[in-house]
């Protein structure tokens, strides 16, 4: 529980909402991680089978490369959601570390809001594009390309939802002085030390 300043929590209703939404974000992360793990296993099995069939049995599987590529697309989008929920996406902190804690929090809120808006826009545009690719089929697997391109709005939409949950935690944390968002829990040690010194 990072950022607690008072022994008695301010705004207990908001704090309960923070905890509930933090659990929702964690559950979404677990769902995405589990699905991504299944896709990674499937991709590994397909590629292993392709090696066996191509080099040992001399009977290459025509659909394996395509199927593995589609698994990789979905895996990449879902793994980005897991990284977002864990707060381990690449970030440059040196440009804000010198700011006082309140200003750093404002920058963090602005970045979360901007990121969520961009991701939501991409998800929306990708959803519109699904109508264009619907009906097209992949050459080897004969899979409708709708299901391949669906990875973009699902991944971007889920990551936008995660950022919105973190944004809610950041904004309500200004009132409750407590943070339950995963991103705040995985900030690097130097940044945490700066925040604690300023507080």
Sign of the dihedral defined by the CA atoms of residues 198, 167, 34, 156, in that order: negative
* pLDDT per residue as tens digits for the range 116-136: 999 999 999 999 999 999 989
Residue 160 has pLDDT above 90, yes or no: yes
Q: How far apart are alpha carbons 133 and 152 in whole angstroms?
A: 13
Residue 133: predicted pLDDT: 92
**Candidate from 43-52, 54-63, 80-89, 130-139 with smallest mean pLDDT:** 80-89
Report how far residue 114's alpha carbon sits from residue 132's, in angstroms, rounded to the nearest whole number: 28
Give 18-50 pLDDT, tens digit per residue: 888 888 888 888 899 999 999 999 999 999 999
pLDDT score at 147: 95
């Amino acid at each position: 529980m990072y950022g607690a300043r008072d022994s008695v929590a301010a705004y207990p209703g908001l704090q309960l909402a923070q905890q509930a939404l933090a659990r929702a974000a964690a559950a979404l992360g677990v769902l995405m991680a589990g699905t991504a793990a299944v896709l990674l296993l499937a991709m590994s099995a397909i590629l292993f089978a392709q090696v066996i069939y191509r080099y040992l049995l001399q009977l290459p599987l025509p659909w394996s490369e395509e199927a593995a590529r589609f698994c990789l697309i979905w895996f990449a989008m879902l793994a980005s959601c897991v990284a977002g929920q864990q707060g381990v996406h690449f970030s440059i902190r040196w440009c804000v570390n010198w700011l006082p804690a309140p200003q750093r929090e404002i920058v963090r809120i602005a970045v979360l809001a901007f990121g969520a808006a961009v991701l939501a826009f991409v998800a929306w545009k990708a959803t519109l594009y699904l109508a264009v690719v619907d009906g097209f089929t992949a050459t080897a697997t004969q899979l409708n390309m709708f299901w391949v391109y669906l990875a973009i709005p699902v991944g971007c939409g889920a990551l936008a939802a995660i950022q919105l949950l973190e944004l809610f935690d950041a904004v309500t944390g200004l009132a409750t002085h407590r943070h339950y968002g995963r991103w705040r829990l995985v900030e690097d040690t130097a940044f945490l030390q700066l925040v604690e010194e300023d507080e």
